[in-house]
Amino acid sequence: MSLLIQGGELITASSRSRADIYCEGETITRIAAHITPPPDCEVLPARGCLVFPGFVDPHVHVYLPTPSTTAKDTHESAGKAALLGGTTCYIEFVIPARTEEPRDALETWRAAAAGRSPADYSFHMAITRYDASVAEQLEHIVSSEGITSFKVHLAYKDYLEVSDSELYHILGLARRLGAITIAHCENAAAVELLRRQLVSAGRRAPRWHYYSRPPEVEEEGTRHFLFFAALQQAPAYIAHLSSRAALAAAMQAVGKGQRVWIETLIQFLLLDKSYAELPDFEGAKYVMSPPLREKEDRSALWSALAAGNISTVGTDHAPFDFHGQKDLGRDDFTRIPNGLPGIEERVKLLYTHGVLGGRIDLHRFVDAASTRPARIFGLFPRKGTIQVGADADLVVWNPDWQGTISAATHHMNVDYSPYEGWKITGRAEYVTVRGRLMVEKGRFVGPVDHGRFIGRNPSG
Ligand code: MN
Ligand code: MN
């Protein structure tokens, strides 16, 4: 089976050119100014469109059990939504309970995904306990399973949190194995103390969530993580950075020559804490950790993104219904399931507000949402760019299309949108995953089991 994408303008992280792309099987095999299609070739007209490499979401939760409830998406719904939004590959977190063996958790997450996602996917391995047996399993997971990134939580006391000595050992192991360590940087003890104080003072509405995790808590978490990463000379990836304070802490480590990459989320660029202050419990839709920050934080994040100091934009996709899930915390914000849905909207929002908003150019857009995540997490050059030999994961982007975001029309399995009524310009007209047409004229047309687990190289 062959496929020709004809007449589009190809945009990568570093180049722009008008060319045709010819794909045989799962791979891009030719790029040239004019390619004549052979008789049996499927032709996608891309004149007037931009052609991007398939977008990669570095931070996604699909199967996500929490102490009180489980996130709503399946790989089928999340994968479909991802593809309709131009994301052809996402990296999900395997999160073992502290008493669980990593290899068992990996099997659970694998079973939830295998044969069920229309998009390609990979896994980050969260570590919630460190001992000799865990170390041995992780060695195998990195060398034989193609999972080359770890995740640690400095937050979530007595649940996901790792101790300082565990953190130290995990970073050392990661460096030895060529893995990269991702961290959720918030001080667990401080969060716990602040939460208790607020709740016992009767401050229980969603808006108080912010004050249980102020920027200082994230700043300390960031310094703390990077201090241990420096001791071990291990590469470090800051997940979901939200504040000026944490940004300054991370940039200080970069200035000292530490290998640090920073991720922010689309919601931190576009939303601020006023959303979490909406009346009638509406604010619960916007409760996540770290919390949405001030307007000044948003503009600092945009500048850092434009400058390349922030490498990637992810979603931390974590869909919980407003009715029946978020409202578990109606009388106590500490019981609100944390997270926002976003896997379907990330690229459209970043294009509309970033590129058309004049904050980043097309190349930085592709870099932050595709190339950089692929490079950092060892998917490149198979994913993350348009070149001969790469997977034929391509997005033909209609830059003139206009629409409105709504829970009534989105494909994520969740009953609200944080961006309800927002106007969008541009959409994925055609999307291919390894040469297979998955989205046509903005509609899902692919088989739901097309997605594959993608094993990764040691991180670059
Ligand atoms: Mn997190
Ligand atoms: Mn997360």
Condensed to tens digits (0 to 9), the pLDDT of residues 347-365 reads: 999 999 999 999 999 999 9
How far from chain centre, in Å, is Cα 373?
Answer: 9
Find out whether 450 and 76 touch, Cβ atoms under 8 Å. no
How far is Cα 250 from Cα 410, in angstroms, rounded to an integer? 35
Domain assignment present for 269: yes
Residue 20 CA to ligand 2 centre (angstroms): 38
Whole-number percent of the chain with pLDDT over 70: 100
Domain tally, the chain: 1
Domain assignment present for 302: yes
Nearest ligand to the CA atom of 290 = 1
The one-letter code for the residue type at 268 is F
Residue 96 CA to ligand 2 centre (angstroms): 14
How far is Cα 317 from Cα 295, in angstroms, rounded to an integer? 22
Average model confidence (pLDDT) across the chain: 97
How far is Cα 429 from Cα 399, in angstroms, rounded to an integer? 9
Residue 32 CA to ligand 1 centre (angstroms): 43
Query: What pLDDT score was predicted for residue 459?
Result: 61
Residue 13 CA to ligand 2 centre (angstroms): 26
* Structural domain boundaries, residue 127: 54-376
CATH number of the domain to which 328 belongs? 3.20.20.140
Write the burial class of residue 269 (CB in 10 Å: 0-12 exposed, 13-18 middle, 19+ buried).
buried
Lookup: tokens for 97: 């309970």
Domain assignment present for 341: yes
Domain assignment present for 24: no
Phi, psi of 219 (to 5 degrees): -60, -45
Nearest ligand to the CA atom of 59 = 2
Domain assignment present for 251: yes
pLDDT band at 157 (very low <50, low <70, confident <90, very high): confident
- Token pair 């419990």 is found at 281
Query: What are the Cα distances from residue 459, in Å, to 177, 182, 235, 271, 436?
Result: 10, 12, 9, 31, 27
Lookup: tokens for 62: 């699909």
Task: Write down how long the chain is.
Answer: 460
Residue 424 CA to ligand 2 centre (angstroms): 25
Residue 318 CA to ligand 1 centre (angstroms): 10
Nearest CA-CA partner of 8 in 398, 314, 360, 409: 398
Nearest CA-CA partner of 288 in 210, 362, 348: 210
> Collapsing DSSP states into helix, strand and coil, what is residue 100?
coil
Farthest CA pair distance, the chain: 73
Domain assignment present for 138: yes
Domain assignment present for 186: yes
Nearest CA-CA partner of 58 in 240, 320, 234: 240
Residue 299 CA to ligand 1 centre (angstroms): 22
Residue 410 has pLDDT above 80, yes or no: yes
Condensed to tens digits (0 to 9), the pLDDT of residues 190-227 reads: 999 999 999 999 999 999 999 999 999 999 999 999 99
- Please enumerate in sequence order all residues whose Cβ is within 8 A of that of 427, keeping only pairs 6 or more positions apart, or say none: 86, 348, 397, 398, 401, 403, 442
Q: What pTM was computed for the model?
A: 0.98
**Torsion angle in degrees (nearest 10) through CA of 3, 7, 12, 16:** 160
Query: What pLDDT score was predicted for residue 366?
Result: 99
The full 3-state SS of 162-217, as one line of letters, equals: CCHHHHHHHHHHHHHHCCEEEEECCCHHHHHHHHHHHHHCCCCCHHHHHHHCCHHH
Domain assignment present for 327: yes
Residue 60 CA to ligand 2 centre (angstroms): 6
Residue 460 has pLDDT above 60, yes or no: no
Lookup: tokens for 391: 């997977």
Condensed to tens digits (0 to 9), the pLDDT of residues 21-68 reads: 999 999 999 999 999 999 999 999 999 999 999 999 999 999 999 989
